[in-house]
Amino acid sequence: MAMVKGRKVCRFCENKIDYINYKDERILKRFTNERGKIIPRRISGNCAFHQRKLTTAIKRGRILAIVAFESESYR
């Protein structure tokens, strides 16, 4: 018998966060895996609006070297 889990709730909607700051490394690292890839919406549980904002923030953080493009151990 398969376990059916409830619907994931967007953490940003839950905490009423409108703006995702690209300088906040702690939040951005939470939504990237160990290889530096952005975690998809179906796994993270974000809504479409916040997933788009999060993706933009992570990409900006990568360009400014706040978040790594890939991990060192991956090479």
Query: How many CB atoms sit inside 10 A of residue 40's CB?
Result: 10
Residue 53 pLDDT level (bands cut at 50, 70, 90): very high
In this prediction the pTM is: 0.83
What is the model's pLDDT at position 1?
A: 66
CB 48 within 8 A of CB 41: yes
Write out the DSSP string of the chain. Answer: ----PPPP--HHHHTT-----TT-HHHHHHTB-TTSPBPPHHHH---HHHHHHHHHHHHHHHHTTSS-SS-GGG-
Backbone angles phi, psi at 15, to 5 degrees: -95, 5
Residue 29: give its domain's CATH number: 4.10.640.10
In a domain, 5, yes or no: no
The number of folded domains in the chain is 1
In a domain, 53, yes or no: yes
Structural domain boundaries enclosing 51: 11-74
In a domain, 57, yes or no: yes
